[in-house]
Structures are given as C-alpha cells and as structure tokens.
Chains A and B, each alone.
Chain A
Amino acid sequence: MKNDLRERREAAGMSQADLAAAVDVTRQTINAIERERYDPSLELAFQLAAHFECRIEDIFTPE
C-alpha cells in the first residue's frame, strides 16, 4: 500500500528506530512499511496515525 510514512517521519526529525520505539515495533518493520513491502495491521496503522496526529487514510493510500 502506498504511504508517505518516510516523509512524515523525516519531517518530524525521527529515525526509523525512534518511530519503531514510539509504536512498539522493530525498526525493520518501519523500514518495510516505508518501502511498501509490508502493510501494517489495523492496530499498527491506528498507532502510526495517532503518533502523527492524523487519520490512517492521510498516511496510507490503497492502490
């Protein structure tokens, strides 16, 4: 699924490890989501949206 997670993370001045720690997943998972090789669970998508104070559909766009 297309997403702008990398742009949002970099705009927030966070590393992948920082974001991973904030939403309690591994850095590899954040990396895989950013590279669009993994679609997060609904739970993780909500956590990411809450972290960036936006809606899930602001981050993720169905192809």
Chain B
Amino acid sequence: MSTTTTRFDPGTYKRATVGLSLLAAVALAAGTVLQRPFVGIGIYVLALGTVFALPAVTETRIYDERDDELMGRASATTLTLFGWLSALVYPSLVALSATGQFSWGPASSAVAFATAGLYGTLGLVVLYYRYR
C-alpha cells in the first residue's frame, strides 16, 4: 500500500505554523473574553492539530539541526533574560512588601510561583541530562 504525500515549500510551512499558532492563542483568549470557552478551545485544538500534522504529510525537510540550534539559543536567551529580571524584580517586591508599599495579590503570587516552578523545572531537567 502506498501513501500520498505533498511537497510544501518550507517557507510556506513555517509561515503557516506561525499563523496557526497565533490563531490558536487568539482563539483561546477570545473564547475566554467572549465567554465562548469551548469555541475557543475547539479552534485552538484544530489550529495546533494542523501545525503538528503538517510535517507528517509532507516529504519536504522542514526543520533540521539548524532550527534546533536556533531554538536552543532562543530558549537560553529567554530563560537568561527572565532570570535576570526575576533576580531584580522579586527581591524588590519582597522589600516593598516588607515596608508596606506592596502587597502580594493572587496574580503577583501566581506569577512568582510560576517563575519559581519554571526555574525549578529547568534545574531538574539540567540534572537529568547531566546524570542520565
């Protein structure tokens, strides 16, 4: 049995990936704001499902080691940026909280815990790759 595959231009595929990913994010946000959560989730699932399905139906090499390296560098830069910002912002907020000029609300607490969780996860992943 033979399977039919399509040849996509990699540039077209990458543009479609970015567009569909943005559509998914906007649909989820709009669904929440407009109180149509399941419509938003439906569009989100369809858009991201298409993104993940496209490489499987094309013969064209779309991503390779260069994309992996680019993503690695971008991820490292993002984590470093957020790390330095966190190192400056959170001690400042703790100090402001201690002097009564800032109070931790649900949103700021959630962001603080999410940040701690992110870097905790990063540490665990680093340990995994170091000692596996």
Contact = CB atoms under 8 A, between A and B. Distances in A.
A binds B: yes
Interface residues of B, number: 9
Contacts of B67: 26
Interface residues of A, number: 14
Contacts of A43: 65
A40 B61 CA distance: 16
Interface string A1-40: 0000000000000000000110011111100100000101
A54 interface: no
A39 B121 CA distance: 30
Contacts of A21: 61
B66 A32 contact: yes
Contacts of B69: 38
A11 B66 CA distance: 25
Contacts of A27: 10
B61 A44 contact: no
Contact of B61 (A25, A32, A41): A25
A61 B26 CA distance: 48
A24 B64 CA distance: 8
Interface in B59-75: 61-67, 69
Nearest to A27: B10
A29 B65 contact: yes
B61 A38 contact: no
Contacts of B10: 26-28
Given A20-B61, A26-B63, A32-B66, 20 more contacts: A21-B61, A24-B61, A25-B61, A25-B65, A25-B66, A26-B61, A26-B62, A26-B64, A26-B66, A28-B10, A28-B66, A29-B64, A29-B65, A29-B66, A38-B66, A38-B69, A40-B65, A41-B65, A43-B65, A44-B65
Interface of B: 10, 61-67, 69
